[in-house]
Amino acid sequence: MAWATSREPVPYEDAVAAMERRVDAIHRGEEGELVWLLQHPPLYTAGTSAKPEDLLDAQGLPVFQTGRGGQFTYHGPGQRIAYLMLDLSRRGKDVRRFVRDIERWVIDALGGLGVDATCRTGRTGIWVPRPEKGPLAEDKIAAIGIRVRRWVSFHGVSINVDPELTHYDGIVACGIRDQGVTSLTDLGKNASMDDLDTALASAFSRHFGSRAAPDPELDLNSPSSHPENVPL
């Protein structure tokens, strides 16, 4: 199980192209599974269930139509993206269970940072109760959207560390109008991107049965690295 991190923001189209190549290689048995941690420049993505009316104001940011599940979401600096290219034929070929495993993984990792997060039936993503805003108020801290091709997953989860939360004003995030969006910083947690990465790595094997470890031959840390020039 390879675990790679890009230190500079990766353009969205380049990331999707890199995932497509890796997914095909995993299906052919030419490459192993990969967890890819990165950030994107500011942008919106529309999943397969996105409704045009949920794009309220693009604020000059690019909008990408994407094949992942879900609706509109925002990506940008200060948000950790974890793209999961995993072979589900080795994991029971159960997409619903896979999504539940992602939810439990992120909740576990956030718990290690002092965040009491949860998932909700009928509402995708990871949520944090905000009783100071009202007895039923909750804010989303992580969004999940995956795609599966020939039983290999790609896309994944985005977790808010310290993004520009006002960019969420341009969309109805994930189609949910009556709840808000938060981040580790907004919750008063003094946790860095590296802290979250460490928590994600520590929790990974408890939910996916494989230890995620850096691949010495997969170097995405250089600012000059470009997805099409690395062995994704």
User: Rounded distance, CA 133 to CA 136, Å?
Assistant: 8
User: Rounded distance, CA 70 to CA 137, Å?
Assistant: 22
| Nearest alpha-carbon partner for 91 in 99, 83, 82 | 99
Any idea which residues carry the catalytic annotation? 174
User: Rounded distance, CA 193 to CA 8, Å?
Assistant: 13
118's CB contacts (< 8 A; 6+ apart) are: 107, 126, 127, 128, 129
Q: Which residues pair with 72 in a beta bridge?
A: 46
Angle at 133 between CA 131 and CA 135, to 5 degrees: 45
Q: What is the DSSP letter of 55?
A: B
User: Rounded distance, CA 12 to CA 196, Å?
Assistant: 22
Helix (H, G, I), strand (E, B) or coil at 176: coil
